C-alpha cells in the first residue's frame, strides 16, 4: 500500500531557492578571490606582466577595488573593480586593452599610454563557473544539516 505523501510547494521552493542563492553567493565570492589572487607581486626580474597575463601588482589598490554585489531575486551579480580616487579607465584598460592618460610626475605633463590586454576578471569567471556544481553541493549540505 502506498503511503500518502504531501508536497508543501512553498517550503520546497523556499529550500531550493536558499540553496541556489547560497551557491550563487559562494560563486561570486570565489570569482572575486580568484581575480585578486591572480595578480602576483611585481619583482625586479618581471616588474610588468606580459600581455595576456594578469597584471602584476605594485600596491594592493587594484585588488582592494574588486568588489561584488548580488541581486538574489534576479540571480545576478556584478563583480569587478570599482572606480576610486579619480581613477577612470585603468582597470578596464588592463582587462580589455586600451589607452589611459595620466600625468607624468617627473615631466609634469599628461602622457597617453597604450595598454595591451592583461585580463584578470574573465579568466577568474571562467575558472569559477566550472566549480559551480561543487558550490551547489556545498550549499545543499549546508542547508541539509
Res. 39 pLDDT band, cuts 50 70 90: very high
Q: Count of domains in the chain?
A: 1
Q: What is the pTM of this model?
A: 0.77
In a domain, 4, yes or no: no
CA–CA dist 32, 26 (Å, integer): 10
In a domain, 57, yes or no: yes
In a domain, 126, yes or no: yes
DSSP strands (E only) in the chain = 66-71, 76-81, 98-104, 109-115
The boundaries of the domain holding residue 54 are 9-83+120-143
Q: How far apart are the first and last CA of the chain?
A: 31
In a domain, 91, yes or no: no
In whole angstroms, how far apart are CA 117 and each of 1, 49, 92, 98?
66, 10, 9, 8
In a domain, 96, yes or no: no
In a domain, 1, yes or no: no
Q: Answer whether 41's CB lies under 8 Å from 25's CB.
A: no
pLDDT in tens, 78-132: 898 887 665 667 888 889 998 888 888 787 888 888 999 999 999 999 998 888 8
Amino acid at each position: 500500500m502506498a503511503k500518502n505523501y504531501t508536497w508543501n510547494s512553498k517550503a520546497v521552493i523556499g529550500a531550493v531557492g536558499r540553496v541556489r542563492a547560497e551557491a550563487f553567493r559562494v560563486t561570486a565570492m570565489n570569482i572575486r578571490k580568484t581575480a585578486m589572487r591572480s595578480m602576483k607581486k611585481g619583482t625586479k626580474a618581471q616588474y610588468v606582466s606580459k600581455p595576456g597575463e594578469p597584471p602584476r601588482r605594485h600596491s594592493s589598490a587594484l585588488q582592494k577595488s574588486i568588489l561584488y554585489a548580488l541581486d538574489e531575486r534576479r540571480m545576478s551579480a556584478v563583480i569587478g573593480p570599482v572606480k576610486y580616487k579619480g581613477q577612470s579607465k585603468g582597470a578596464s584598460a588592463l582587462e580589455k586593452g586600451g589607452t589611459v592618460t595620466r600625468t607624468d610626475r617627473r615631466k609634469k605633463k599628461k602622457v597617453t599610454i597604450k595598454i595591451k590586454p592583461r585580463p584578470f576578471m574573465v579568466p577568474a569567471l571562467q575558472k569559477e563557473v566550472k566549480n559551480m556544481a561543487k558550490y551547489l553541493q556545498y550549499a545543499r549540505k549546508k542547508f541539509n544539516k
